[in-house]
Structure 1
Amino acid sequence: MSDSVATQIVQRVEIVRDFARSDLFDRTFKEGMALVEETAAYLDGDGRRDSRLLNREDALAYAGESMRLTTRLMQIASWLLVQRAVREGDMEAADACEERYRLSPVQGSAADAGEKMPEGLISLLDRANRLYERISHMDKRMFIDAESEAPAVNQVLNQMQLLQNAFGTATEARQ
């Protein structure tokens, strides 16, 4: 492992630790967990009632959207719990940097304008999507962008170093 790669890893680990200790993490964690609880209550209560009032086609779309919503929220909760584990010392920040803890790519909604979704579900979907986008942005900044922020290699200096290695310095050549 080169020194620059090792430095990158150390920097990324520090970014993860700093984020896990931040007020932004506290607020995001509380918001995410509250949304998970609110969604569970809705789907077990008013959402169940609302879905019974839908025609067959819309009820199938509702079922698909509610599954998409719960999947999205589980991804959010999982990501937040990994960050909390880092904060509480239950997980090393370096482990949290592993690819398996990244968010999965988002899949769009299958519902179209013709389907009548209950307002409660639409509101939860919107809030979950906005939270997912924010967390996805944080994940990208912490992990993906951090990898691409390696110092740029000066190609001229790099070529000069290769020449120097191949032929030695000018003073060595004269001796």
Structure 2
Amino acid sequence: MMTFKITALDCPATDEDDAILSVAPTPLPILGARTGVVPVGAALAFDDEAAEATGEDRFALLLVDAEGEVLMRLAGFTEEDVVAQWRDLAAKGGLTRMLLREDGSLVPVSRQIGRLALGRSRQRRRNGSLSGRRPRFLTRRKATRLPARPCIHRGESEMFSRG
């Protein structure tokens, strides 16, 4: 990303006094440039001003430091987009997800250290290893075999003798 523009690139200046540089700073905030000001959480809050202006519910995302001070406010999210944006911002930035209550207190929703999420893990597979198994519909059916020593009945009229 280029944050400044150099004019007259096709005509190199012969003297340093003739060079004209115009610098346009980026409109995006640079977080973490100052020491001690690092966001640790992404808070979801209801945006009263935007909701009154548009007539529908609007939400704001707040970047919060360790003391609970708001570093930056991202506003104007609709109800459909805000949760996806909130989770994406927290996941990519390694920030703790928080909610801003009506009384102004911040409540953490998820616990994490940096990008490492803390808590119970979900077991994604069953206990056994699936590599040695075949699905039931793919099992091979074995042909029947005679017993090792066949039983031969001679001279009897019935299979089961009663005497």
TM-score in terms of structure 1 length: 0.25
Q: Which has the higher contact order (CA 8 A, sep 6+)?
A: 1
Bigger share in helix = 1
Bigger share in strand = 2
TM-score in terms of structure 2 length: 0.27
Q: Which has more radius of gyration?
A: 2
